[in-house]
Structure 1
Amino acid sequence: MNASVINRFAKIVTAGSAKGRSRRLALTLPLAAVIAAGAVGCTPDSSPQAAPTTAPTLSTPAGTPTPTSTAPTTTATPAPTTTPTATETATTAPAPAPATAAPVPAAAGTPSATRTPTSVVKPGGGIEIRFDGLKAGQRIEAGGGTVSFSVTWTNTGTKRYDTVVPVVSSQQYEGAPCTRVLAMAHGTVERKDGNVWHEFPLSQGGGMDYATTGTAAAFPLASGASRTIQYRIHLAADNGPGTLSVEAASYGNTTTFNQIGNKKVVDTEVVDSHLPKVTVTGGPGAVVVGGQGTRYTVKVTNPTGSAFRSAAPALKVQTLTDPDSGDFTQHVVSPGDLFVMVQDHGQWRALKADYDCDGYLAVDTTSLQRTLGAGTTAEYTFRIGVDKGWAGGTKLPVQIGATADGHTAPTVKVTPSVSG
C-alpha cells in the first residue's frame, strides 16, 4: 500500500480517537478494514514497460564514448542527440549506469516544476505535475466565487504511458464544518473536458473513490510530452478559515490505483469576509439541576457591508460533562437531560436539541432566523439548564455562536458549574 494512503488513514483513525474525549460518540475505523479497503491500489507503478535491466550488447546509449578498440572512429555513426522514442527506449535502454553516468540534470537555477520536457527526461519513468494559477498562500473565499487554475502533467521519463488518470482534490481540512470522523471540506472541483465542465466533490473522503473522478479524462503520454487540464474550485460558505491543501496526482489505472510519479500539493488559505459576530453576556454562574437554568443574552451582529438574508444564533452543548477529567465513565448528556428556552415576545419558549455530526447536542434555532441588515444587531435571551433526570458531573460546556447565509461565526465558550 502506498505510504501516503496508509498515513492518511492513520491520521483519520487518530483524529477520531483524539476527539472522542470531547464528543459523545467517536466512530472507530478498524485499521485492518482500512488496509483491506485500500490495499489493492497502493503499490507504486510497476508497469512491464520499464526499461530492461540488461541492455542488448549491440546498443550504445547516446553520448557514451565508443572504445577505439572495437569501433574505429573513421566508420562510427554519431549517436543521436534527440530524446529516444518509446520504441527506441524498449530496445536500446542501457543497464543501470554508474554514478559517473547519471542523467543530465535540469539547468542550474531552474525549478523542477518549470523545466522543459527536453531538460527533464530521465531513464525509466515518472510524471511531473505543475499548477498554474493556484499558488501557496493563495486566499480562497468560503462561499465566494470559483477559483480557476490549470494543472499540467509531463512525462519526464523515457517510456510511454498508455494511460494517465489525472486527479485533483483537497486533502483533509480541519476547517470543515463537520470533523467528527473525516474533516472533509464542503465544496466542488470542476474539470473542463473539451467544452464541458464536469463537477465532483472537492474532498478526498475516506477511501480511494476520489481517484475514479479522473477516469473519463485519462490520456496517453509519450516520453517528454505534456497534457494540461483546466480546473476550478468552489468552497461552500460553511467552511471555516484554515489551510486547505489542494492535491494533484496521476494514476496508471483505477483498478489497482498504481500512482505514477509524485503528487503535487498547494497549500491555500481559506478566508471568510461574511462572518457574523457574536457577543455573550450573563452567566456562567451555576446550573441547579431541575432549576430554571442559567440566563444568557446573545447578540448577533452583521459587520459586513451587505444584508444577511437569514441569520440566527447557534447553541450546542458538549456531551461529556467534564472532558478535562479524562474519566469517560461519567454520565453523558442526552437530549432528555438538557433544556434550552428562549424569550420570545415576552414569553419563554422551549427549543429542542439533538446530536449533530460532531456528536454535540445542537439546539434547533431555525425558528429564530431573521434578516439582518448591514451593521445591525439582533438580541436573544436564553435559559440553559439540565433536567432533574440528569445524574451528575460538575460542568456543562456550552458553545454559543451564530450562522448567517450559511457562514458560521466563531463560537463563544461558557462553562457553568452544575450543582444539586
Structure 2
Amino acid sequence: MNASVINRFAKIVTSGSAKGRSRRLALTLPLAAVIATGAVGCTPDSTTNAAPTAAPTLSAPATTTAPSTPAPSAATSAPAAAPAATPTAETPAPAPSATTPATPAAKTPAAKTPVSVVKPGGGIEIRFDGLTPGQKIEAGGGTVAFSVTWTNTGTKRYDSVVPVVASQQYEGAACDFIAQTATGTIERKEGNTWKEFPLSQGTGMDYVMGGKSATFPLPSGASRTIQYRIHLDADNGPGTLPVEAAAYDSVTTIKQIANKKIIDTKVVDTHMPKVTVTGGPGALIVGKQAAQYTVKVSNPTKSAFRQVTPTISLPNVVDPKSGDYTKRFIEAADLVVEVQDHGQWRPVAVDHDCNDNLAINTDSLQRALPAGATTEYTFRIGVDKGWTTGNKFNLNFGATADQHRAATVKITPTVTG
C-alpha cells in the first residue's frame, strides 16, 4: 500500500475518533475506496478500529452523502507534469494528485436527534411541578396541589423506589419543644382516591414509611409522576416552609437513593388577630404584689372570629443564679394569675403549653369577635414563692382566633422580695 495513503488513512481515523462518533469527515467515503483497492489483505487492529458502542444519549448518526466528485483512488497514477493552468469560470481547477492531500468537501449536517435522559453515571432525578420557590401557602386555607416526578437518568434499574414527600423543620411551628414541625396534612393520589399522611418529618425516619404503598420500579430512562396536595392548619405562623421530595430503595433499610429536592414555600396568614398590651412592666413582689396588664385583641379581617382567647406564657422559667439550668424554680402552683370579670377578680388556672412553658388555661376566656371589633382582658400576675429576688422573667402575651395565632408581645417585669 502507498505510504502516503496509509498516513492519510491514519490521520483521518485519528481525527474521527477525537471528534466523537456523532461527527464524520467528508473524506471517509474516499478512504473506503482506498481500503477497498489498495489495502486488500490488510487486517486492521481490532482494538483501534473496531466500531464503538453507541453512547446511550445519542442515536446512530445519519449516513453522510458522498461528494458529487469523488477523490481519485490510490490505484490511479499521478498525471504527468504539465504547465499549471489558471482556472476560469469555464475551466475548473484540476483534481489534486494522489500525493497531494485533498481539500475536504463541505460536511453534510446530520439531522438533529432527541437526547435521551439516560447518561453515564446518572441516578434518580426529582422534579416538582406546580410548587415553586416562594409560592404562598395560606395557613388554614385551601389545599395546594402539585406533582413530583422521579426519573432514572442512569443505566442501573431500581426495582423498588419508595417515594417520599414531607415538610422539613419549620420556624413558624406552634409547638417546638422537641422539634419545629408544621401542623397539617399531605395527601398522595393513589388511583382515584387520596391517601392522607402527616405533613412534617418529625425527629426520626418514620415518615419514610408513608411511601411504602406507593413503591414502584424504575428502569433506566423511565419516569414516574405522583400527584400530591398540602393543607396547613390555622395555627401555623408565617415563615418559610421547606417541602422535600426524596427516594429510598427500601422501607426496611431506609437507604436514600436520590439527592433530595427541596422547594422553600412561604406560609402566610391573613386571618391573624392583633394584640396590644398596656400596663406594666412594673415589679412583682414575691408573695405580696402582682403586676397588672390589659390585653387588647382586635379583629383586622373582614370576617367574624367565632372563638377568640388571650394567651399568656412564661418561657424558660429558671433561676439564672442557681447554676442549675435544668431545674424549674416556678411551678404552676407558684404563679398566681387573675382576670377581671364583671368588676370582680377571679383566678385563672395555670398549666403547661405544648412547649412545656407555664401558660394560663384559656378555656373560660373564649369570646366571639366581629370583623373590625376589639375586646379587652385585664390580668393580675404574681409570684407566691420559688423565685430569687432581683431576677427577671419574660411574659409572652398573645391570642388565638379560630386557631390563628397573633404575634406575641413580650413584657419583662422585675421580681423583688
Q: State the TM-score, normalizing by the size of structure 1.
A: 0.72
What residue is the counterpart of 2:135 in the other structure?
138
Q: What whole-Å deviation, never above 9, does each CA across 1:307-336 have from its counterpart, x for those lacking one?
A: 001001111113425669987387621111
Aligned with residue 275 of structure 1, among 256, 272, 276: 272
Mean Cα deviation higher: 255-264 or 192-201 = 255-264
Say whether 1:232 aligns with 2:208.
Answer: no
What SS class does the counterpart of residue 211 from structure 1 fall into? helix
How many angstroms apart in 1 are the aligned matches of 2:137 and 2:266? 6
Say whether 1:306 aligns with 2:306.
Answer: no
Once the two structures are TM-superposed, the CA of residue 138 in structure 1 deviates from its matched residue by 0.6
Correspondence list, 1:139-288, <5 A: 139-288=136-285
Once the two structures are TM-superposed, the CA of residue 378 in structure 1 deviates from its matched residue by 0.4
Say whether 1:376 aligns with 2:373.
Answer: yes
2:339 partner amino acid? V
Aligned with residue 360 of structure 2, among 363, 383, 386: 363
Say whether 1:70 aligns with 2:65.
Answer: no
User: Which of the pair has more CA radius of gyration?
Assistant: 2
Once the two structures are TM-superposed, the CA of residue 79 in structure 1 deviates from its matched residue by 4.5
What SS class does the counterpart of residue 203 from structure 2 fall into? coil
How many angstroms apart in 2 are the aligned matches of 1:301 and 1:72? 83
Q: What whole-Å deviation, never above 9, does each CA across 1:144-174 have from its counterpart, x for those lacking one?
A: 1100000000000012111111000011112
Q: Is the alpha carbon distance of 1:155 and 1:396 closer, same or farther for their aligned partners in structure 2, counting shifts above 3 Å?
A: same
What SS class does the counterpart of residue 333 from structure 2 fall into? coil
How many angstroms apart in 2 are the aligned matches of 1:180 and 1:342? 28
What SS class does the counterpart of residue 119 from structure 2 fall into? coil
Q: Is the alpha carbon distance of 1:131 and 1:396 closer, same or farther for their aligned partners in structure 2, counting shifts above 3 Å?
A: same
Mean Cα deviation higher: 357-366 or 121-130 = 121-130
Once the two structures are TM-superposed, the CA of residue 396 in structure 1 deviates from its matched residue by 2.9
| Mapped contact 2:296–2:375 kept (Cα < 8 A) | yes
Structure 1 stretches of 4+ with a deviation exceeding 6 A read 324-327
What residue is the counterpart of 1:337 in the other structure?
334
How many angstroms apart in 1 are the aligned matches of 2:416 and 2:144? 52
What residue is the counterpart of 2:62 in the other structure?
none
RMSD: 2.6
1:249 partner amino acid? A
Q: Is the alpha carbon distance of 1:125 and 1:252 closer, same or farther for their aligned partners in structure 2, counting shifts above 3 Å?
A: farther
What residue is the counterpart of 1:354 in the other structure?
351
| Mapped contact 2:246–2:261 kept (Cα < 8 A) | yes
2:45 partner amino acid? S
Once the two structures are TM-superposed, the CA of residue 357 in structure 1 deviates from its matched residue by 2.2
How many angstroms apart in 1 are the aligned matches of 2:114 and 2:304? 52
Once the two structures are TM-superposed, the CA of residue 391 in structure 1 deviates from its matched residue by 4.9
Once the two structures are TM-superposed, the CA of residue 343 in structure 1 deviates from its matched residue by 0.3
Q: Is the alpha carbon distance of 1:264 and 1:405 closer, same or farther for their aligned partners in structure 2, counting shifts above 3 Å?
A: same
Aligned with residue 288 of structure 2, among 274, 288, 291: 291
Q: Is the alpha carbon distance of 1:149 and 1:415 closer, same or farther for their aligned partners in structure 2, counting shifts above 3 Å?
A: same
How many angstroms apart in 2 are the aligned matches of 1:353 and 1:68? 92
For structure 2, list consecutive stretches of 5 or more residues without a partner in the other structure.
1-19, 24-42, 59-112
How many angstroms apart in 2 are the aligned matches of 1:208 and 1:398? 36
| Mapped contact 1:118–1:224 kept (Cα < 8 A) | no
Once the two structures are TM-superposed, the CA of residue 292 in structure 1 deviates from its matched residue by 4.0
| Mapped contact 2:306–2:369 kept (Cα < 8 A) | yes
1:313 partner amino acid? P
| Mapped contact 1:148–1:232 kept (Cα < 8 A) | yes
| Mapped contact 1:117–1:224 kept (Cα < 8 A) | no
Q: For this pair of structures, how many residues does the alignment match?
A: 325
What SS class does the counterpart of residue 216 from structure 1 fall into? helix
What SS class does the counterpart of residue 332 from structure 2 fall into? coil
How many angstroms apart in 2 are the aligned matches of 1:326 and 1:314? 30
Q: Is the alpha carbon distance of 1:415 and 1:187 closer, same or farther for their aligned partners in structure 2, counting shifts above 3 Å?
A: same
| Mapped contact 1:331–1:392 kept (Cα < 8 A) | no
Higher relative contact order (CA 8 A, sep 6+): 1
Q: State the TM-score, normalizing by the size of structure 2.
A: 0.73
| Mapped contact 2:308–2:368 kept (Cα < 8 A) | yes
Q: What whole-Å deviation, never above 9, does each CA across 1:4-27 have from its counterpart, x for those lacking one?
A: xxxxxxxxxxxxxxxxxxxxxxxx
Q: Percent identity?
A: 64
Mean Cα deviation higher: 286-295 or 397-406 = 286-295
Q: What whole-Å deviation, never above 9, does each CA across 1:14-64 have from its counterpart, x for those lacking one?
A: xxxxxxxxxxxxxxxxxxxxxxxxxxxxxxxxxxxxxxxxxxxxxxxx959
How many angstroms apart in 2 are the aligned matches of 1:324 and 1:142? 41
Once the two structures are TM-superposed, the CA of residue 280 in structure 1 deviates from its matched residue by 0.4
| Mapped contact 1:63–1:79 kept (Cα < 8 A) | no
| Mapped contact 2:319–2:328 kept (Cα < 8 A) | no
What SS class does the counterpart of residue 336 from structure 1 fall into? helix
1:139 partner amino acid? K
Aligned with residue 316 of structure 1, among 286, 305, 313: 313
Q: What whole-Å deviation, never above 9, does each CA across 1:198-251 have from its counterpart, x for those lacking one?
A: 000011111111111111111111111111000000111111111110000001
| Mapped contact 1:339–1:350 kept (Cα < 8 A) | yes
